[in-house]
Amino acid sequence: MIFSELGLGPEVLRAIEEKGYTQPTPIQEQAIPWVLQGRDVLGCAQTGTGKTAGFTLPMIDILASGRARARMPRSLILEPTRELAAQVAESFETYGKHHKLNMALLIGGETFTEQVKKLDRGVDVLIATPGRLIDLFERGNMMLNDIKVLVIDEADRMLDMGFIPDIERIVSLLPKNRQTLFFSATMPPEIRRLADAFLQNPREVTVAPPASPSETVTQAMVLVQEQDKRKALRHLLRTEDVKNAFIFCNRKRDVAVVQKSLEGHGFNAGALHGDMPQHKRTETLELFKRGDITLLVCSDVAARGLDVQGLSHVFNFDVPLHAEDYVHRIGRTGRAGRMGRAFTIAGPEDGKLVAAIARLIKRDIPMIAIDGLESATFEEGEGRRGRFGRGRPPRGGDERRGAEDRPRRDERPRREERAERAERDDRPPRREEREERPERPTERERDRAALSEARREPPRRDRDRRRRRDEDDDDEPVVGFGDHVPAFLLRAARPRPEPSGGDTSQEG
Ligand code: AMP
């Protein structure tokens, strides 16, 4: 099939041609005609399948006729992270270059002033993260009753990040008579329930079985002691033909540690996580996309759905806590039919997490050994027993050693001892001491406690709240209202309307 058969207008087709696309991807082929017909669409598609163009291309055509009024956006795209929102905005610019559509990007971490000015001028396409959208709405900066097309992208991620109450609230503020496009990489029951509530008689389009990694990604796993993970990573980076790579860590703190360690060892590495100020996140991502940085150490949230052309590798410095994240992480490579390689560095405590991934993707990740580095075993009761399942390692000359063979504390290299002594002496350790030194026992214990805490899974709502605070407007200090009195507090209270049937709003 070719693009001109999908029913798109000539300007959009010209922009596609200039972008160099020759054929629609399967999600585009399936979704675009339905969107153009005004139907609701429920799309089950991973990132990397071309789903962004699947909704932006027809939206541009739909919005081409009509004009936006001040403060009354005509369409709304909700994205879980700022980076994804910025990426969708970029797509709109690329595909909409032969149209005169106004677009506003409302994301946390940027000043309100510019965003408000744009809203005042009238926008056809509003691309937003849920928190910032609600903030601006509550300040009285916009009305949402002219929204004709709503896109909820990465719905499963929204759920994971605790945005669902916000999404429900936003949807309750929109006109009932609208077109809704709902995309998710996976369709757990909670997402299905939301889709049922938000969509009317949708056309379902699915382009890959939920949570299946792309066949173009070669996967492997190494299992080492916790303190050897950085060494394992460096070995992989040196022996693999890495053009550019994402290196995922589970905790933001580790993102900084791993990035500094890599830099200290002469690698060209940047960091991306939710605690960084937005301008720094944008700048780092730009450097990475331009190739000025070749390795990007990142957290899941910062990197989710990021589209970097031709990413050669993904490294999981930590096994992800949620099995679905494994699929999302490794899906950053092997995109658009290209080949990619994904390596996961597991520690002895990760057996259960690894088993959960194997269950999800319905196969074991092949284990490899690293020459010169002692392999570990999963701890008792931590899932798959042994390093290599039932088989032998595919390469490497290291022999398996049991727990009793592990180096005892007094056998640790001198460098580590020096680093510890330096700490006691209250002088900064030398650089190589800092980088190789394993964490002090107390800190490791704290990490373990945090990990088991995470594994125990607190009630979803609490977890969601916490994550949302963490990841959405996390770089803005919480200062209450200060001297500022929000506009909504100054308006006279109106009587609350009777709830109507099907209203899914929730007080937040
Ligand atoms: P997405 O899944 O939307 O993140 O898109 C993944 C990548 O595929 C992006 O780099 C797009 O530019 C690219 N892409 C989207 N549609 C096409 C197409 N029809 N042909 C080739 N590449 C495409």
Q: What secondary structure does DSSP assign to 100-133, as a single string?
A: ---EEEE-TTS-HHHHHHHHHH--SEEEE-HHHH
CA separation, residue 255 to residues 248, 250, 281, 312 (Å)? 8, 8, 13, 20
For residue 245, which of 325, 321, 334 has the smallest C-alpha distance? 334
pLDDT of residue 72: 95
The residue type at 182: F
From ligand 1's centre to the CA of 53, what distance in Å?
7
Q: Which residue lies with its CA nearest to atom 5 of ligand 1?
A: 50
Identify any residues that bridge with 315 across adjacent strands, giving them in sequence order: 247, 343
Which of 30, 46, 52, 81 has most ligand 1 atoms within 8 Å of its beta carbon, as the pocket-test mutant?
A: 52
Q: Which two tokens stand for residue 99?
A: 């149209």
91 Cβ partners below 8 Å, 6+ apart?
Answer: 52, 53, 56
pLDDT of residue 52: 94
The residue type at 10: P
The residue type at 494: R
CA 74/CA 129 separation, integer angstroms: 17
| Per-residue pLDDT tens digits of the chain, which is 508 residues long | 899 999 999 999 999 999 999 899 999 999 999 999 999 999 998 777 889 999 999 999 999 998 889 999 999 999 998 889 999 999 999 999 999 999 999 998 778 899 999 999 999 999 999 999 999 999 999 999 999 999 999 998 898 888 999 999 999 999 999 999 999 988 888 899 999 999 999 999 998 654 567 788 999 999 999 999 999 999 999 999 999 999 999 998 999 999 999 999 999 999 998 788 888 888 999 999 999 999 999 998 766 667 787 899 999 999 999 888 898 889 888 876 678 999 999 999 999 999 999 999 989 999 999 988 888 999 876 554 444 443 333 333 232 223 222 333 333 333 333 333 332 222 333 333 332 233 333 444 444 444 444 344 333 443 344 344 334 333 333 333 333 334 444 444 554 454 444 333 332 2
Domains and CATH numbers, the chain: 3-206 (3.40.50.300), 217-424 (3.40.50.300)
Identify any residues that bridge with 305 across adjacent strands, giving them in sequence order: none
For residue 471, which of 298, 308, 266 has the smallest C-alpha distance? 298
C-beta neighbour count of 273 within 10 angstroms: 25
Phi, psi of 72 (to 5 degrees): -125, 80
Identify any residues that bridge with 203 across adjacent strands, giving them in sequence order: 41
Q: Which residue lies with its CA nearest to atom 6 of ligand 1?
A: 48
pLDDT of residue 305: 67
Of ligand 1's atoms, which has the minimum distance to the CA of residue 51? 3
Q: Is 0.95 surpassed by the pTM of this model?
A: no
Q: Which residue lies with its CA nearest to atom 15 of ligand 1?
A: 50
From ligand 1's centre to the CA of 450, what distance in Å?
38
Q: Which residue lies with its CA nearest to atom 17 of ligand 1?
A: 50
DSSP 8-state class, residue 348: G
Lining residues, ligand 1, CB within 6 Å: 21, 23-25, 28, 47-53, 307, 309, 335-336
**DSSP alpha helices (H): ranges in 37-151?**
51-64, 82-95, 112-121, 130-138
Element (H, E) at 447: helix 441-456
Of ligand 1's atoms, which has the minimum distance to the CA of residue 336? 8
